[in-house]
């Protein structure tokens, strides 16, 4: 009888909408004022708008480059620009954040309310459309977001210090994956939950409650085309993954979209690696927009994230667009990769 009741309870949870889930779990927020709930609701709304446009790729003029470069010198795709504008406008118009930093913007954006004061509590950092170069070939892309509580006094303009906080200070983080189905996966520091969009009615429903990364896995995700440029520790770990043993070789799976690779490894178990290279000695992924939020999600799901030597969440940022090496996923796999990195610590590139 107890087992039957548990099944009914699980079915009830799976039928729960994202809005209902936010309200039910409001008490878990450290600063429960409703502002963080409204902020997550705004991200939900912006994600639906971007999802609609992604699903029309190929039917409307949204493919290809926009003809501009972002602050990192990378070509901006048309969908990069569109997603960036949608998220900024949605968060700005609802007056629920005091500042926004985006991978697509040179500097952070200060937001004032109707009373011209900066009295909102939160700042948002985001990668509006991760993996956008894949959109032309119909591969899954995503949005990544990170939320911090401001550290400057309420009522004053935000400063760079509000954004340059270590990842351990995040109050929420998540991603949206625009794939065969559209999902929002997020955490507020009390586990990780995933919600799938029902496109017929435009509502996200709890589909993946209390997500956990398997402690071990058999998938490694790394761009092996850059193998010759990798540090020796990464080269040795890849050889370890490929070695014929009882539980190996592992399977190599690399999509080239961080959200997609991370999401697969979150469900199936695995490790994602984007190391520093001889071409990019500081790494390629952005600490604030990509690594910090994914690291929080990984740790909340029982996984691990590091730069190969120390926890991502403990790194003190020094600039908005700072890059770092990134090792993330199943705990045992990340720890094994760190062992190989430590062996060559004295020759760290």
Q: Would 235 be classed as within a structural domain?
A: yes
Are 114 and 187 found together in one domain? Answer: yes
345 or 58: whose pLDDT is higher?
A: 345
**Mind listing the pLDDT tens digit for each residue in 15-50?**
799 989 988 887 766 555 678 888 999 999 999 999
Distance CA 341, CA 231 (A): 8
Q: Would 155 be classed as within a structural domain?
A: yes
347 or 226: whose pLDDT is higher?
A: 226
Task: Please state, rounded to an integer, the average pLDDT across all residues of the chain.
Answer: 87
Are 143 and 292 found together in one domain? Answer: no
Nearby residues of 22 by Cβ (< 8 Å), 6 or more positions away: 37, 40, 41
**Mind listing the pLDDT tens digit for each residue in 111-149?**
876 655 677 889 999 999 998 777 777 788 999 999 999
Tell me which residue of 102, 96, 124, 114 sits closest to 39, measured CA to CA. Answer: 96
Are 26 and 91 found together in one domain? Answer: yes
The string of DSSP letters for 91-160 reads HHHTT--SEEEETTSSS-EE---TTS-----EEEEEEEEETGGGGGGT--EEEEEEEEE--SPTTS---H
Residue whose structure tokens are 């004295």: 346
Residue 5, pLDDT score: 47
For residue 74, is pLDDT > 80? no
Residue 98, pLDDT score: 92
The whole-model pTM stands at 0.89
Residue 64, pLDDT score: 47
Tokens of 243: 């070695």
Are 179 and 45 found together in one domain? Answer: yes
Are 87 and 198 found together in one domain? Answer: yes
Q: How many CB atoms are located within 10 Å of the residue 88 CB?
A: 21
Are 230 and 313 found together in one domain? Answer: yes
**Mind listing the pLDDT tens digit for each residue in 151-173?**
999 888 999 999 999 999 999 99
């Amino acid at each position: 009888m107890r087992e039957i009741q548990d099944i009914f309870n699980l079915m009830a949870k799976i039928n729960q909408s994202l809005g209902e889930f936010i309200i039910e779990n409001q008490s878990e927020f450290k600063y429960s004022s409703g502002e963080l709930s409204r902020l997550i609701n705004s991200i939900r709304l912006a994600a639906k708008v971007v999802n609609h446009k992604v699903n029309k790729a190929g039917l409307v003029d949204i493919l290809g480059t926009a003809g501009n470069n972002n602050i990192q010198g990378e070509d901006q795709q048309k969908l990069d620009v569109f997603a960036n504008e949608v998220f900024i406008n949605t968060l700005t118009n609802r007056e629920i954040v005091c500042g926004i930093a985006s991978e697509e913007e040179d500097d952070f954006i200060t937001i004032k309310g109707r009373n011209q004061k900066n009295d909102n509590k939160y700042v948002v950092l985001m990668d509006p459309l991760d993996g956008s170069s894949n959109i032309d070939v119909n591969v899954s892309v995503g949005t990544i977001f990170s939320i911090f509580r401001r550290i400057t006094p309420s009522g004053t303009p935000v400063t760079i210090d509000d954004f340059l906080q270590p990842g351990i200070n995040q109050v929420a983080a998540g991603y949206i994956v625009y794939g065969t189905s559209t999902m929002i996966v997020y955490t507020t520091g009390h586990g990780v939950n995933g919600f799938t969009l029902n496109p017929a009615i435009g509502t996200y429903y709890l589909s993946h409650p209390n997500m956990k990364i398997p402690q071990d896995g058999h998938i490694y995700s790394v761009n092996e085309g850059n193998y010759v440029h990798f540090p020796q520790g990464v080269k040795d770990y890849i050889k370890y993954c490929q070695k014929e043993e009882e539980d190996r070789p592992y399977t190599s799976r690399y999509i080239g979209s961080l959200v997609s690779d991370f999401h697969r490894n979150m469900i199936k178990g695995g490790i994602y690696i984007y190391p520093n290279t001889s071409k990019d000695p500081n790494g390629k992924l952005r600490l604030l927009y990509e690594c910090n939020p994914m690291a929080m999600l990984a740790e909340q799901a029982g996984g691990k994230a590091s730069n190969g030597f120390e926890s991502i969440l403990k790194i003190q940022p020094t600039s908005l667009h700072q890059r770092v090496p990134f090792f993330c996923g199943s705990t045992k796999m990340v720890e094994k990769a760190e062992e190989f990195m430590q062996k060559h610590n004295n020759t760290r590139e």
